[in-house]
Amino acid sequence: MNLRQNYASVNDKRLYRRKVNPNLVGMNTQFMNNSISGNRILQNKNEYENVMVENNVLPHPGLKSTLINRPYKLVLYKNINQTTDSQVFTLNESLKDVVSVKLVNCLINTTEATASDFLVLKINEIKKNISTSGSNNFNDSFAIIDIDEIDSKIYKNNGTYEDIKYFDPPLNSLNKLTFSVYGNGGATELDGDTAKTFTIKLELIVETKEKLRVY
């Protein structure tokens, strides 16, 4: 190498050496694995990017994130103890561009003289199930609520049946849920009259087109 030159000739044999080349100090310091002597081979793209970040060659990429449809959790409760009670859940705000509504949990306690095997829950805004003619309100119902405690007449559906309604195209707006409950195999509506009163707790996940960033 000519010391008067600030560069090395391509014919300089000292550039072509096994082991670490002291003439490539920058490469040596940036890419040397401090845990072992000498340079190391970067095995994959992730390892390469990690080394770049560690040695301030590339900026840190920050937290990784993704966009999902924004979910809203609805928790609703109503005591229907007379026929004049409105069987409607009115939401505090309208949810726009709804793409799906999923049942998370439903708990119903009735005053029936005799417990039914199950209850049929219908929601006018969320018609989902298809059945046969003369099927006692199964058709267009949203969910079946099974008996959980016979003596106390408590019915429960904790989402195990994957009761979910999809909207394509998305539902423009959802601001209320008009519901009705049927016992006796779906034949008798529980309307708040004597022996037909009930309480209902309903938990739903409403998914909208609105985007939410999650990390």
pLDDT given for residue 9 in this prediction: 66
Positive or negative CA dihedral for 99, 104, 110, 113?
positive
Query: Shortest CA distance to 100 belongs to which of 160, 156, 174, 200?
Result: 174
Mean pLDDT per 10-residue run, the chain (215 residues)? 59 58 50 48 67 65 86 97 93 97 97 93 95 85 96 94 95 97 91 92 97 91
Task: Spell out the SS3 assignment of the chain.
Answer: CCCCCCCCCCCCHHHCCCCCCCCCHHHHHHHECCCCCCECCCCCHHHHHHHHHHCCCCCCCCCCCEEEEEEEEEEEEEEECCCCCCCEEEEEEEEEEEEEEEEEEEEEEECCCCCCCEEEEEECCCCCCCCCCCCCCCCCCCEEEEEEECCCCEEEECCCCCCEEEEEEEEEEEEEEEEEEEECCCCEECCCCCCCCEEEEEEEEEEEEEEEEEC
Left, alpha or beta for 23 (phi > 0: left; psi -120 to 50: alpha)?
alpha
Positive or negative CA dihedral for 113, 114, 115, 120?
negative
Is pTM beyond 0.75 here? no
* Domains of the chain by start residue, with CATH: 1-62 (no CATH), 66-214 (2.60.120.1100)
